[in-house]
Amino acid sequence: MSILSWNCRGLGSDWTVQELLGLVSSQQPSFVFLMETKATTSQVERIRVRMGFEGRLCVERNGRGGGLAVLWRDATMATLINYSTNHIDVCVKLPGIPEWRLTCFYGNSDQNRRQESWDLLRELRDQSSLPWVTIGDFNDITCQSEKRGPHPQPTALIEGFNDSLMDCQLFDLGMEGSRFTWEKGRGTEAWVEERLDRAVATPSWLDIYETAVVRNLLTLESDHTAILLDVDTGAVRRAKKRFRFESAWLQEEGCHRVVDQVWNLTHGMDFQSRSWSVGAIWDDG
């Protein structure tokens, strides 16, 4: 199970839609969160059909800008809790897993209104006690190293964002790939890069998905990269090899010699040592 989050900067371009469909095809997410869709509900519905997803919730654009959409693969996976122009909150129900809460979040881009975003996080904290993960474009950074450019981030903004995360007990999940998720002015003296997109979660959510990983995915049609929260990384770990003897091996030249070598290595050792020696030879093979 994974969640794709992307500030696509508008779904009006065929190239952007094609890139989105390519991301969905290659990453196979269960949820897709889109910000700055600049789209109507009918436009998002057409994209849902092309993606082959069953669930959708759309917050339409405000004038010519804004707009949010969350789409999910199976209709029964999620139920709506609440939404606004800056978030969509759903309860996720998966077989054999405790219910948890997914908040898709879009922070206010106006620095003078950033406090509203922090206060919204605190309000959302108080609305449910479910294990909680939040993903999206927060339009904030947590430290100066999350920005590269000619001017440092105001300390008050960094502290305000960190305080809101601490108050909500939301912990950053880190990120694999490029350090930054947004850029402006590439190739100029005003070139700026920042890590504005992230996923954060409460300890109770991390107890469910302790191996969750966030990956930064390069995109071409937006000034934001996409991020993918993969919660099933533990399931793809290499299975421990189990020895199975094949009778056909007895016909192979040198079979008896190999068996004799293993016996000589293990003879006289305790059981634990023998297991380790045979395992080492097996893994090397």
| Residue numbers of the chain with a pLDDT score lower than 50 | 235-254, 258-259, 261-285
Q: What is the pLDDT of residue 232?
A: 80
How far is Cα 278 from Cα 259, in angstroms, rounded to an integer? 10
Question: What is the sign, positive or negative, of the torsion defined by CA atoms of 174, 178, 179, 181?
Answer: negative
Phi, psi for residue 166 in degrees, rounded to 5: -65, -45
CA-nearest of 30, 63, 42, 6 to 226 is 6
The pLDDT value given to residue 233: 64
Q: What is the helix, strand, coil percentage profile of the chain, to 5?
A: 35, 25, 40
Q: For strands 171-172 and 182-184, give the pairing.
A: unpaired
Kindly calculate the radius of gyration of the chain based on its CA atoms and give it in whole angstroms.
Answer: 24
- Residue holding tokens 């029964």? 76
Q: Over the stretch 227-270, which tens digit does the pLDDT of each residue have?
A: 999 998 654 333 333 333 444 444 444 455 544 544 443 344 33
Selection from 132, 216, 122 nearest residue 174 by Cα: 216
Separation CA 56–CA 43 (nearest Å): 12
* Superfamily holding 2-236: Endonuclease/exonuclease/phosphatase (3.60.10.10)
Q: DSSP character for 152?
A: P
**How far apart (Å, rounded) are the C-alpha atoms in residues 45 and 53?**
10
In the prediction, which pLDDT does 152 show?
Answer: 93
Structure tokens given for 175: 């990120």
Residue type, 211: T
Contacts of 101 (CB under 8 A, 6+ apart): 81, 89, 90, 91, 92, 128, 130, 131, 132, 133, 205
CB atoms within 10 A of CB 273: 12
- Inter-helix orientation angle 255-266/271-284, to 10°: 140
What was the pLDDT predicted at 236? Answer: 34
Secondary structure (3-state) at 10: coil
DSSP letter string over 93-128? Answer: --TTS--EEEEEEE--S-GGGHHHHHHHHHHHHTT-
Within the chain, which residue ranges are assigned CATH 3.60.10.10? 2-236
The single-letter DSSP state of residue 168 is: T
Please give the distance of CA 257 from its chain centroid, rounded to a whole number.
51
